């Protein structure tokens, strides 16, 4: 009971921190931008060509769907067939709790909770989510490589060195994670030795206080991932499908901002004359996403908005339109998506509780 109360208290604190970050972010946006206000934002949204706006919301829904389908594909590879709504709920829990926790640390445990409740053993649940995370990271790096190959000049022409640093650091962190995953596949003992050496140095410098606890967590994480790889390593079709689905998830996410931009170009005079190649807009959206990974805040709130304004200033010179485009894009791909995923998670949670109550009642009657 105490553990449950602690978990609820932690979630409430996370939500309060997120709300505070959002409040500060919007206060800065609305007070540091002359001529920009609620009315200009409402006018901007109403001027977006409706099919594009609808398309942006469809991409938001599909974004969660691709994650859910990937989880479903890996689950079926291990013999667990769950319906699309259930897989969608697992993905929604991941997205919602990732949004409200620092560095998205709460997403996977939330998904795991509901998967275990749906009778997928914890060992297989861990395998499914670990491999899906690996594919997620791999698809991110693949998209980054494609983006830099196709549009290197856009990155070079970014004026802010801070934003450039955020993009590079964000990608290096993800590349480091991918490298660690590959090293674990080759030799988990070598990874544990390297990790032990690093923890010993940090402990010597008094940066890490509980050395044994850290080493225990590292050993457990490495062992879990290695077991996950062993369970799914011969399921090549499922692994390929998971990678492609994670890549599709990234494309639909980025497409939200692209559709908002091109939808605005239809009816807004200041943007109507703007001629920007669609690949340029995709690349700029990708840079915004890459840069957000260097900030360990819930949803990278504040940093994402600042990075977006800096990146898209390359093609939108009007500050009011720039802020309107940013808030509309972030509104759909983060704030609305978080609320939508939260509602789906809540509905699934209620379903799980009702099912558990019925099962308990039937068990009591049988006894």
158: pLDDT strictly greater than 60 = yes
DSSP H helices, 48-187, are 50-77, 84-100, 107-117, 122-150, 152-156, 161-186
Say what the pLDDT of residue 322 is.
Answer: 85
Whether 78 contacts 127, CB under 8 Å: yes
Say what the pLDDT of residue 306 is.
Answer: 82
Confidence class for position 61, pLDDT limits 50, 70, 90? very high
Whether 283 contacts 355, CB under 8 Å: no
Whether 323 contacts 29, CB under 8 Å: yes
The least confident of 131-140, 219-228, 284-293, 343-352 is 219-228
The C-alpha atoms of residue 336 and residue 338 are separated, in whole angstroms, by: 5
Say what the pLDDT of residue 236 is.
Answer: 86
Six-digit token string for 226: 């290695």
Say what the pLDDT of residue 341 is.
Answer: 94
The C-alpha atoms of residue 321 and residue 260 are separated, in whole angstroms, by: 12
The proportion of the chain whose per-residue pLDDT surpasses 90, expressed as a percent, equals 32
Instruction: Give me the mean pLDDT over the 292-319 stretch.
Output: 77
DSSP-assigned letters across all residues of 213-261: HHHHHHHHHHHHHHHHHHHHTT-HHHHHHHHHHHHHHHHHHHHHHHHHH
Mean pLDDT of the chain: 84
Say what the pLDDT of residue 27 is.
Answer: 67
Q: Which of 173, 138, 176, 179 is nearest to 291 (CA)?
A: 173
Say what the pLDDT of residue 126 is.
Answer: 87
Say what the pLDDT of residue 367 is.
Answer: 58
Say what the pLDDT of residue 86 is.
Answer: 93
Say what the pLDDT of residue 354 is.
Answer: 85
Best-predicted range by mean pLDDT (23-27, 297-301, 327-331): 327-331
Whether 149 contacts 137, CB under 8 Å: no
Backbone angles phi and psi of 219, in degrees to 5: -60, -40
| Number of domains, the chain | 1
**Chain Cα centroid distance, residue 25:** 20
Instruction: Give me the mean pLDDT over the 26-53 stretch.
Output: 78
331: pLDDT strictly greater than 70 = yes
Six-digit token string for 46: 């109403």
The C-alpha atoms of residue 106 and residue 97 are separated, in whole angstroms, by: 5
**Chain Cα centroid distance, residue 100:** 11
- pTM for the predicted model, two decimal places: 0.86
The C-alpha atoms of residue 175 and residue 142 are separated, in whole angstroms, by: 10
Taking the CA atoms of residue 109, residue 115, residue 118 and residue 121 in that order, the dihedral angle to the nearest 10 degrees is -100
Task: Characterise 344 by phi-psi region: left (phi > 0), alpha (psi -120 to 50), beta (else).
Answer: alpha
The proportion of the chain whose per-residue pLDDT surpasses 70, expressed as a percent, equals 87
97 is in which domain, residue-wise? 2-366
Q: What is the pLDDT of residues 257-295, one digit of tens each?
A: 999 988 888 767 666 556 778 899 999 999 988 888 877
Say what the pLDDT of residue 254 is.
Answer: 93
Say what the pLDDT of residue 8 is.
Answer: 63
Instruction: Give me the mean pLDDT over the 333-352 stretch.
Output: 91
Say what the pLDDT of residue 284 is.
Answer: 92
Six-digit token string for 152: 């290197």
């Amino acid at each position: 009971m105490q553990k449950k109360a602690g978990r609820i208290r932690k979630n409430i604190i996370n939500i309060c921190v997120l709300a505070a970050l959002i409040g500060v972010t919007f206060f800065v946006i609305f007070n540091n931008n002359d001529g920009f206000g609620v009315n200009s934002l409402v006018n901007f949204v109403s001027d977006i060509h409706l099919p594009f706006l609808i398309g942006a919301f469809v991409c938001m829904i599909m974004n969660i769907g691709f994650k859910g389908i990937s989880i479903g594909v890996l689950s079926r590879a291990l013999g667990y067939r769950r319906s699309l709504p259930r897989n969608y709920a697992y993905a929604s829990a991941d997205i919602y709790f990732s949004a409200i926790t620092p560095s998205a640390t709460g997403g996977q445990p939330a998904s795991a909770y509901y998967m275990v409740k749906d009778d997928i053993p914890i060992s297989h649940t861990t395998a499914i989510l670990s491999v899906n995370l690996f594919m997620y990271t791999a698809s991110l790096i693949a998209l980054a490589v494609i983006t830099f190959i196709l549009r290197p000049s856009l990155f070079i022409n970014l004026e802010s060195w801070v934003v450039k640093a955020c993009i590079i650091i964000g990608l290096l962190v993800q590349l480091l994670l991918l490298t660690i995953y590959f090293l674990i596949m080759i030799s988990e003992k070598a990874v544990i030795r390297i990790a032990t050496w690093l923890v010993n140095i940090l402990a010597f410098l008094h940066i890490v206080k509980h050395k044994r606890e850290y080493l225990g967590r590292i050993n457990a994480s490495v062992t879990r991932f290695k077991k996950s790889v062993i369970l799914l390593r011969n399921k090549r079709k499922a692994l390929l499908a998971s990678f492609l689905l994670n890549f599709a998830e990234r494309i639909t996410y980025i497409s939200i901002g692209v559709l908002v931009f091109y939808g605005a170009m239809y009816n807004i005079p200041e943007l109507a004359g703007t001629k920007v190649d669609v690949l340029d807009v995709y690349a700029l959206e990708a840079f915004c996403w890459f840069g957000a990974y260097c900030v360990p805040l819930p949803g990278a709130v504040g940093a994402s908005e600042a990075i977006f304004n800096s990146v898209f200033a390359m093609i939108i010179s009007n500050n009011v339109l720039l802020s309107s485009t940013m808030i509309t894009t972030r509104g759909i791909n983060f704030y609305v998506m978080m609320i939508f995923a939260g509602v789906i998670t809540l509905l699934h949670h209620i379903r799980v509780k009702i099912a558990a109550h019925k099962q308990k009642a039937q068990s009591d009657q049988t006894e």
